[in-house]
């Protein structure tokens, strides 16, 4: 025992001794210039660790050329002495603990003296240090299917051991790049064993000290021995895709398959969808991968973010939101390629969509006239079938660094057929039936569209001087043949029905074409001030033929009904020019300017042979200011003035009796409306405290607003006519505050919204102003943990108010509530459960007395399987409580209505989802 203690004490002393003396070595020397025999001051003496060249310490020589490095640890070092214009002095040094090394004079030699020698030596060492050594892969024979590793083994100077470790020129290779990019982390074998030899064009070996900047764009500093594998262009190929099959009882199915194949820069993708659960097209993610990408994105400097704008019609949406039960089919093919060193790229696609829907719906409405009120109910059954073939193409050419051209072309051809069966009843103020009607409409139509857009941009050498020219063309054609049958029974004071029947063939043919050319030139006036000049010419031509035929004695529909028939042409030609000044500062940006526009309306009634020509001159002022008060906060204010021309439907002097209970008449004397639009935006986000606040507001007032006047007759029938009125405005605003409760890791947000409008029109010849406003508050809570769970709750309460000036006693007010809860939990054994509850409550009113509350509960349970969780089996249930219905309430005019309609309700679906991919080059995705 005593012996042991002694040993420990001895060891302790030894260790202690090591520590106390370790810092005690020192080096002393004098730096001199050989040729001039002068002492050199300020020479740098660096001590590097011999094993890895790490700088341990350094000093400079004093004016006598003397230097002293002390408190040095023991070990092996390299001493590096440098002095401007002199050759480096490098010497290995071994320091014993506690030693004081006296080197004496160190002679440095001017580089100029050594020049010759160095050149010779460098030539000799060039090979050893080397530049990039490049091997051409094809000059080495390997068996088909051989890996890169097999290929490397054949190359002189490269060895590969049994573990895949590579040695090049005697040094261990630590990194393998593929086309200059890192290939799944640092393990070189990932690339060499998974890539096939025949995919390789060249093998490049960098020496330890060569510069990799050429490959990564920036020196990555890791001076490891590196091999770069250059792939053959045509071998960068592979595919990936997705298959989803789902089926349930009651004719519910949802199937889709998508496939993308890529080869070098060519990409080809195809997809197919068949669904009776509302999927009509590709969703956002899928569009990026299998469609033509997200071109619908624009940077907006006002709020410093990206704006996404959606397609618009039911064929561009990924889901069906309309009335009835949908059945949809969609297929598409997309091809894209880049060429000419990526200077040119092309993207083309073809799509086919077909959508059938059938459903029933009800509308309750209240029509308010100055002296009375009518209550109307409508029931309907609709069958709808639409299809469309679309093509799209985009070509971009960056002609040089200053000039670019972009051409977008798209078009479609579509067919539509609809059949609807209506039955209506109207009650007067006292609850007496004043009207009953049954009606069937049907129509078969064709529609087509062609759009062309070309944009040429050029930047001049002077910063800020640019010119751009854009050309737009658009053609739109709609034609349809349809039948209207309506039997309307009106009940007079005596309660006796008086019947009127309409039985007509309707032929509609409408063509709209637009040409627009715009030239914009910007010139820098000062460092931050730019002038923008623009000129545009725009021509808009509309031609609409709406013909109605009654049955003649022969039973054929060949008796033209002149009241409901018209052929009208409406052309608008506008010349616009303007100037704007822009200030582009660091914190402030702003612009101010105005356009002036000369417009000529040319209207011609083809059947009555009358014509009307009108000229307008308009100023379109615009101003905008953005202040960035912090890196994540900005406030902006925006004003624009704009005009809107009447559409052909609004201006065509013909009565549309498609619904004999609500006839719409166009007005050829309509003026264009002028709108002043103000926008306000404020947002601030505190990143570190994870709090954000935003407020926005918008106000637009319209002079000569195009509105519909209403004339309600004694049986509750309405005649709408387009007129111009003044005093209308629209406003909406909102705001919110969001934060994270760090203690609970809980995100909470609260906000408000407010919208209001004033709508002035004529009702039975009397001026009526509808005031309506809707305040709303909302809040949400969320908590999530990546790959574990996700919970979100959203709630909102809103109040709705509407009042007519002609009947201030009949105001409409009601509350609405919406709640939404979404929970997703990843369970053990690769199970996943998801549930979503949407609870919508709408307060009943005197008129809208139906209970339209919906408690919609959806959920699914799924299990992932296959390698990398690429497969999933899922059982999903939609509307478990079978309560869903479509709903809409409109209260902003004197005709208030509530629609309810059939939509997808309870169904169960068992689905199988499989994501697959194959990348022969070992897993590089495009």
Partner 1 sequence: MKSLLIIFPILLLGSLTRAQETFILEGKIEFEKKINFHKALDGLADNDFDNSWIQSMKKNFPATITTYFNLYFDHSKMLYKPGREVPPSSPPVPDWLVGPAVDNIVFTDLDKKENIGLKHVFENTYRVEDSVRNIEWRITMDTRTIAGFSCRKAVGRIMDSVYVIAFYTDQIVPNGGPESFSGLPGMILGVAIPRINTTWFATKLELVTVKPEELTPPKKGKKVTVKELLEQLKGPMKDWGKMGQRNIWSIMI
Using rule CB under 8 A, residue 297 touches partner 1? yes
Least distance from partner 1 to the Cβ atom of residue 431, Å: 59
296-327: burial string, b at 16+ Cβ within 10 Å, e else: eeeeeebbeeeeeeeeeebbbbbebebbbbbb
Q: Which stretch binds partner 1 (CB under 8 A): 41-49, 269-277, 483-491, 856-864?
A: 41-49
Q: Which stretch binds partner 1 (CB under 8 A): 244-252, 290-298, 318-326, 716-724?
A: 290-298
Least distance from partner 1 to the Cβ atom of residue 874, Å: 22
Environment class of 276 (CB within 10 Å of its CB; exposed 0-12, middle 13-18, buried 19+):
buried
For residues 292 and 894, which CB has a smaller minimum distance to partner 1 in the complex?
A: 292
For residues 424 and 589, which CB has a smaller minimum distance to partner 1 in the complex?
A: 589
Using rule CB under 8 A, residue 922 touches partner 1? no
Using rule CB under 8 A, residue 18 touches partner 1? no
Angle, CA of 5, 7 and 11, to the nearest 5°:
115
- Report the C-alpha gap between 344 and 336 in whole angstroms: 11
Strands 225-231 and 907-918: unpaired
- Report the C-alpha gap between 453 and 408 in whole angstroms: 5
Using rule CB under 8 A, residue 238 touches partner 1? no
Using rule CB under 8 A, residue 293 touches partner 1? yes
- Report the C-alpha gap between 632 and 637 in whole angstroms: 17
Q: Which stretch binds partner 1 (CB under 8 A): 91-99, 212-220, 324-332, 852-860?
A: 212-220
Least distance from partner 1 to the Cβ atom of residue 402, Å: 13
Least distance from partner 1 to the Cβ atom of residue 352, Å: 23
Least distance from partner 1 to the Cβ atom of residue 527, Å: 5
Torsion of CA 274, 276, 277, 280, to 10 degrees: 50
Which residue from 35, 70, 172, 216 is in contact with partner 1, where contact means CB under 8 A?
Answer: 216
- Which of 709, 701, 761 lies closest to 731, judged by CA? 701
Using rule CB under 8 A, residue 55 touches partner 1? yes
Query: What residues numbered 630-689 form the site for partner 1, per CB under 8 A?
Result: 630-633, 686-689
For residues 43 and 705, which CB has a smaller minimum distance to partner 1 in the complex?
A: 43
Which residue from 143, 162, 209, 461 is in contact with partner 1, where contact means CB under 8 A?
Answer: 209
Query: What residues numbered 514-543 form the site for partner 1, per CB under 8 A?
Result: 527-528, 530
Q: State the SS3 of 338-397.
A: EECCCCEEEEEEEEEEEEEEEEEEEEEEEEECCCCEEEEEEEEEEEEEEEEEEEEEEEEE
For residues 236 and 546, which CB has a smaller minimum distance to partner 1 in the complex?
A: 236
DSSP code, position 319: B
Using rule CB under 8 A, residue 289 touches partner 1? yes
- Which of 581, 563, 564 lies closest to 525, judged by CA? 581
Query: What residues numbered 445-474 form the site for partner 1, per CB under 8 A?
Result: 463-464
DSSP code, position 649: H
Q: State the SS3 of 108-163.
A: ECEHHHHHHHHHHHHHHHHHHHCCCEEEEHHHCCCCCCCEHHHHHHCCCCEEECCC
Query: What residues numbered 91-150 form the site for partner 1, per CB under 8 A?
Result: 110
Least distance from partner 1 to the Cβ atom of residue 303, Å: 9
Q: Which stretch binds partner 1 (CB under 8 A): 75-83, 140-148, 787-795, 905-913?
A: 75-83
- Report the C-alpha gap between 858 and 909 in whole angstroms: 11
Which residue from 12, 16, 306, 581 is in contact with partner 1, where contact means CB under 8 A?
Answer: 306
Which residue from 143, 162, 461, 742 is in contact with partner 1, where contact means CB under 8 A?
Answer: 742
Which residue from 468, 584, 606, 731 is in contact with partner 1, where contact means CB under 8 A?
Answer: 584
Using rule CB under 8 A, residue 301 touches partner 1? yes
Least distance from partner 1 to the Cβ atom of residue 244, Å: 17
Roughly how many angstroms between the first and final C-alpha of the chain, as a whole number? 71
For residues 79 and 152, which CB has a smaller minimum distance to partner 1 in the complex?
A: 79
- Which of 839, 844, 841, 872 lies closest to 858, judged by CA? 839
Using rule CB under 8 A, residue 918 touches partner 1? no
Q: Are 491 and 432 in contact (CB under 8 A)?
A: yes
Q: Are 676 and 638 in contact (CB under 8 A)?
A: no
Q: How many CA atoms lie within 13 Å of 344's alpha carbon, on the beta-carbon side?
A: 6
Using rule CB under 8 A, residue 312 touches partner 1? no
- Report the C-alpha gap between 178 and 753 in whole angstroms: 53
Using rule CB under 8 A, residue 269 touches partner 1? no
Using rule CB under 8 A, residue 305 touches partner 1? yes
Which residue from 217, 312, 553, 555 is in contact with partner 1, where contact means CB under 8 A?
Answer: 217
Interface contacts to partner 1, rule CB under 8 A: 41-44, 46, 48, 52-55, 58, 60, 80, 82-86, 88, 110, 209, 216-223, 285, 288-289, 293-295, 297, 299, 301, 304-306, 463-464, 527-528, 530, 584-586, 589, 628, 630-633, 686-690, 742, 925-926
């Amino acid at each position: 025992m005593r012996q042991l203690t002694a040993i420990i004490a001895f060891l302790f002393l030894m260790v202690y001794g090591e520590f106390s003396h370790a810092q005690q070595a020192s080096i002393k020397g004098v730096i001199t210039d050989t040729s001039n025999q002068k002492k050199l001051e300020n020479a740098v003496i660096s001590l590097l660790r011999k094993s890895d060249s790490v700088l341990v310490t350094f000093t400079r020589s004093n004016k006598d050329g003397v230097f002293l490095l002390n408190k040095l640890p023991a070990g092996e070092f390299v001493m590096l002495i440098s002095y401007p214009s002199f050759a480096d002095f490098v010497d290995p040094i071994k320091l014993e603990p506690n030693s004081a090394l006296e080197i004496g004079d160190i002679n440095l030699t001017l580089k100029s003296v050594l020049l010759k020698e160095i050149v010779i030596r460098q030539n000799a060492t060039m090979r050893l240090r080397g530049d990039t050594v490049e091997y051409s892969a094809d000059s080495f024979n390997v068996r088909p299917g051989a890996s890169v590793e097999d290929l490397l083994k054949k190359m002189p100077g490269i060895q590969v051991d049994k573990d895949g470790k590579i040695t090049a020129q005697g040094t261990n290779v630590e990194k393998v790049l593929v086309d200059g990019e890192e290939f799944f982390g640092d393990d070189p074998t990932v690339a060499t064993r998974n890539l096939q030899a025949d995919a390789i064009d060249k093998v490049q070996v960098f020496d330890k000290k060569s510069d990799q900047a050429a490959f990564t764009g920036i020196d990555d500093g890791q001076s490891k021995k590196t091999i770069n594998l250059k792939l053959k262009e045509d071998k960068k190929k592979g595919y990936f895709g997705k298959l989803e099959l789902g089926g349930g009882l009651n004719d519910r199915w949802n199937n889709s398959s998508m496939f993308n194949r890529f080869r070098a820069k060519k990409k080809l993708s195809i997809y197919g969808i068949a669904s009776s659960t509302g999927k009509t097209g590709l969703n956002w993610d899928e569009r990026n991968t299998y469609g033509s990408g997200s071109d619908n994105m624009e940077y907006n400097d006002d709020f410093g973010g990206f704006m996404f704008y959606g397609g618009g019609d039911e064929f561009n949406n990924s889901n069906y939101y309309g009335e009835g039960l949908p059945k949809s089919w969609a297929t598409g093919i997309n091809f894209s390629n880049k060429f000419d060193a990526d200077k040119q790229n092309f993207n083309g696609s073809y799509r086919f969509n077909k959508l059938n829907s059938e459903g029933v719906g009800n509308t309750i409405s209240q029509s308010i006239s100055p002296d009375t009120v009518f209550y109307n109910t409508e029931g309907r059954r609709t069958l709808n079938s639409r299809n469309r073939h679309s093509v799209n193409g985009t070509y971009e050419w960056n002609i040089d660094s200053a000039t670019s051209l972009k051409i977008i072309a798209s078009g479609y051809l579509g067919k539509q057929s609809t059949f609807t069966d209506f039955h209506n009843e109207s009650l007067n103020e006292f609850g007496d039936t004043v009207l009953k009607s049954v009606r069937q409409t049907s129509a078969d139509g064709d529609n087509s569209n062609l759009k062309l857009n070309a944009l040429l941009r050029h930047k001049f050498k002077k910063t800020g001087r640019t010119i751009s020219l854009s050309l737009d063309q658009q053609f739109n054609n709609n034609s349809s043949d349809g039948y209207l049958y309506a039997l309307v029974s009106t009940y007079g004071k005596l309660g006796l029905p008086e019947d009127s029947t309409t039985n007509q063939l309707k032929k509609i043919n409408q063509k709209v074409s637009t040409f627009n050319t715009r030239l914009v030139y910007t010139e820098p006036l000062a460092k931050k001030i730019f002038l923008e000049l623009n000129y545009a010419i725009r021509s808009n031509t509309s031609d609409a033929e709406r013909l109605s035929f009654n049955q003649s004695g022969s039973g054929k529909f060949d008796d033209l009904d002149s009241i409901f028939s018209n052929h009208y042409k409406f052309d608008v030609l506008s010349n616009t020019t303007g100037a704007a000044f822009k200030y582009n500062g660091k914190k402030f940006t702003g612009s101010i300017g105005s356009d002036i526009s000369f417009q000529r309306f040319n209207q011609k009634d083809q059947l009555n042979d009358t014509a009307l020509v009108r000229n307008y001159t308009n100023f379109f002022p615009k101003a905008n200011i953005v202040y960035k008060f912090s890196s994540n906060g900005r406030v902006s204010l925006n004003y624009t003035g704009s005009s809107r021309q009447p559409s052909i439907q609004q201006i065509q002097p013909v009565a549309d009796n498609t619904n004999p209970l609500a006839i719409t008449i166009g007005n050829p004397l309509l003026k264009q409306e002028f709108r002043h639009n103000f926008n306000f935006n404020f947002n601030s986000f505190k990143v570190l405290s994870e709090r954000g606040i935003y407020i926005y507001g918008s106000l637009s007032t319209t002079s000569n607003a195009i509105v519909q006047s209403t004339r309600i007759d004694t049986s509750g029938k309405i005649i709408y006519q387009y007129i111009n009125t003044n005093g209308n405005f629209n406003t909406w605003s909102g705001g919110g505050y969001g934060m994270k409760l760090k203690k609970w890791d809980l995100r909470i947000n609260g906000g408000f919204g407010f919208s209001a409008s004033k709508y002035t029109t004529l009702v039975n010849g009397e001026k009526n102003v509808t005031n309506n406003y809707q305040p709303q508050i909302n809040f949400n809570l969320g908590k999530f943990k990546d790959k574990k769970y996700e919970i979100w709750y959203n709630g909102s309460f809103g109040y709705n108010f509407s009042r007519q000036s002609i009947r201030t006693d009949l105001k409409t007010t009601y509350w609405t509530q919406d709640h939404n809860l979404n929970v997703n939990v990843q369970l053990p054994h690769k199970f996943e459960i998801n549930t979503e509850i949407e609870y919508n409550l709408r307060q009943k009113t005197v008129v809208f007395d139906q209970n339209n509350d919906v408690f919609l509960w959806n959920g699914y349970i799924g299990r992932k399987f296959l390698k990398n969780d690429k497969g999933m089996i899922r059982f999903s249930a939609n509307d478990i409580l079978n309560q869903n219905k479509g709903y809409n309430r409109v209260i902003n005019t004197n005709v208030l209505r509530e629609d309810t309609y059939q939509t997808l309700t309870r169904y169960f679906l068992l689905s199988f989802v499989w994501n697959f991919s194959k990348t022969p080059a070992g897993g590089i995705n495009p």
